[in-house]
Amino acid sequence: MRLKARSDGPLKGRVRPPGDKSISHRAIILGALAHGETVVEGLLEAEDVQNTAKAARLFGANVVQGEDNLWRVTGAGSLTQPAETIDCGNSGTAARLLIGAASAFPISARFDGDASLRKRPMNRVIAPLSQMGARFDSPNNRMPLIVHGGKLKGITYRSPVASAQVKSAALLAGLGAEGETVVIEPERSRDHTERMLAVFGADVDQIDIDGVLHPRVRPSTLKGARVYVPADPSSAAFPAAAALIVGKSEVVIEDVLINPLRLGLYETMLEMGAKLTFKERRDPIGEPIADLVINASELTGVSPPLKRAPSMIDEFPILTVLAAFADGETRITGAGELRVKESDRITLMVEGLRACGVEVEELDDGLVVHGRGPKGVRGGAEIRTLGDHRVAMSFLVMGLASKEPIIVDDAHMIATSFPDFANFMAGIGARIEDV
């Protein structure tokens, strides 16, 4: 499925993006691990999360989509031997968190994924889980792999990468390990697992090591809970960016998760000169939420600090689009993790930006975008996405403000994180259509 985006006047209106993907995966996984019923309101009904729901069923949980935007997960307090391979599709989060959770039980589970997930590194979870006592059949440390779980012991794991998936895999395994499990990261990654574990009654806290707090879990029995899923700030990034670069736009994006460990892009937007305000802040669920008000803005290039990378790791593709419209240079470094996402996002963004007439330099761990500022972006290209949802959405947003329309070669993977993206964007006046 190819999609084309073209400019068509200012974007206006109020919208509520779909539920947060990270929180949705965790709600189902913790629900499956817990005793009793978990009721999830506003779950992201996208392919990645559907794969986690299917996996939870194969591990013995009852997962049903009810009426009124509610999903119900009934767990038995443990994961049971799955009768089939757990197919994680395109989702690294499903794969890494479920491998961690499965490790704690005396079962053998085979995991697989699509062509993109089969290329992504799994040694980053195999290493800590093996230290805890899990065993793996995993040629090349990639999918497909089999995990043999049970009889784990807790560890203090110094992760070489700031990755919430790695941290969560170890913490979920730690729920069933003897002793305590602590994860030390080079920079803090998103903490939804820790926050939600507390809501489910786990023995989780933070330990001070050399003046820095790190998450710790001890063996725990979880109890089903009620979870509310706010709008995903990583999905909100696309209408927000579009409102900034399409002249005279004013858009309100409602009910957005504003966990500080997810806000790197929004901090960077403000540094670029974005007219962006957070209104109606609230915290009903142990996760902060706000409405974002965004007006079209003249942007200036920036160099986000290295330590901000984990809090905007999924937002670099759309940041490079903002950078193309900004005046001056934007230098992104410390973002080597982008090469092992759903695609090599550095290579693909560089290629696509160049095709749209933007001057870019590729670095090992990032890129430098020479913003076009008042000169504007030409566009007028067909973009190769290699089935990467965020690359596709980024170039469609670019097409809304470039002089000539932009086509993305394959938009079907957008459904992994943002179902109905084109219609959603049409709700604020954007023209994105099939070609």
Q: Residue 90 interacts with ligand S3P (CB under 6 A)?
A: no
Q: Residue 94 interacts with ligand S3P (CB under 6 A)?
A: no
Q: d(Cα 309, Cα 188) in Å, to the nearest integer?
A: 10
**Closer to ligand S3P at the Cβ: 92 or 405?**
92
**Closer to ligand S3P at the Cβ: 6 or 341?**
341
- Whole-number minimum distance, CB 435 to ligand S3P, in Å? 28
Number of residues that bind ligand S3P (CB under 6 A): 12
Confirm whether 314 is a catalytic residue.
yes
Interacting span for ligand S3P (CB under 6 A) from 139-147, 161-169, 296-304, 427-435: 161-169
Contacts for 182 with CB less than 8 Å, ≥ 6 apart: 154, 155, 156, 157, 207, 209, 214, 215, 216
- Both tokens of 128, joined, read 């800590």
Strand, helix or coil for residue 140: helix
Site string for ligand S3P, 186-215 (x = CB under 6 A): ---xx-------------------------
Q: Residue 22 interacts with ligand S3P (CB under 6 A)?
A: yes
Contacts of ligand S3P in 301-320 (CB under 6 A) = 313-314
| DSSP notation for 265-316 | HHHHHHHTT-EEEEEEEE-SSSS-EEEEEEE----B-----GGGGGGGGGGH
**Closer to ligand S3P at the Cβ: 38 or 163?**
163
**Closer to ligand S3P at the Cβ: 94 or 407?**
94
Contacts of ligand S3P in 328-347 (CB under 6 A) = 337
- Whole-number minimum distance, CB 233 to ligand S3P, in Å? 12
Phi, psi (deg, nearest 5) at residue 65: -90, 115
Q: Residue 164 interacts with ligand S3P (CB under 6 A)?
A: yes
Strand, helix or coil for residue 405: coil
Q: Residue 163 interacts with ligand S3P (CB under 6 A)?
A: yes
Q: d(Cα 332, Cα 367) in Å, to the nearest integer?
A: 5
Give Cα 317 distance to the centre of its chain. Answer: 13
Q: Residue 165 interacts with ligand S3P (CB under 6 A)?
A: yes
**Closer to ligand S3P at the Cβ: 185 or 254?**
185
- Whole-number minimum distance, CB 161 to ligand S3P, in Å? 7
Catalytic residue among 20, 114, 255, 314: 314
Give the relative orientation of helices 316-325 and 389-399 as an angle to the nearest 10 degrees.
20
Q: Is the dihedral of CA 116, 118, 123, 125 positive or negative?
A: positive
**Closer to ligand S3P at the Cβ: 328 or 336?**
336
* Helix H or strand E segment including 356: none
Q: d(Cα 204, Cα 415) in Å, to the nearest integer?
A: 34
Question: Of the candidates 50, 52, 74, 93, which one interacts with ligand S3P according to CB under 6 A?
Answer: 93
Strand, helix or coil for residue 39: strand
Residues that bind ligand S3P (CB under 6 A): 22, 92-93, 163-165, 168, 189-190, 313-314, 337
Catalytically active residues, by annotation: 314
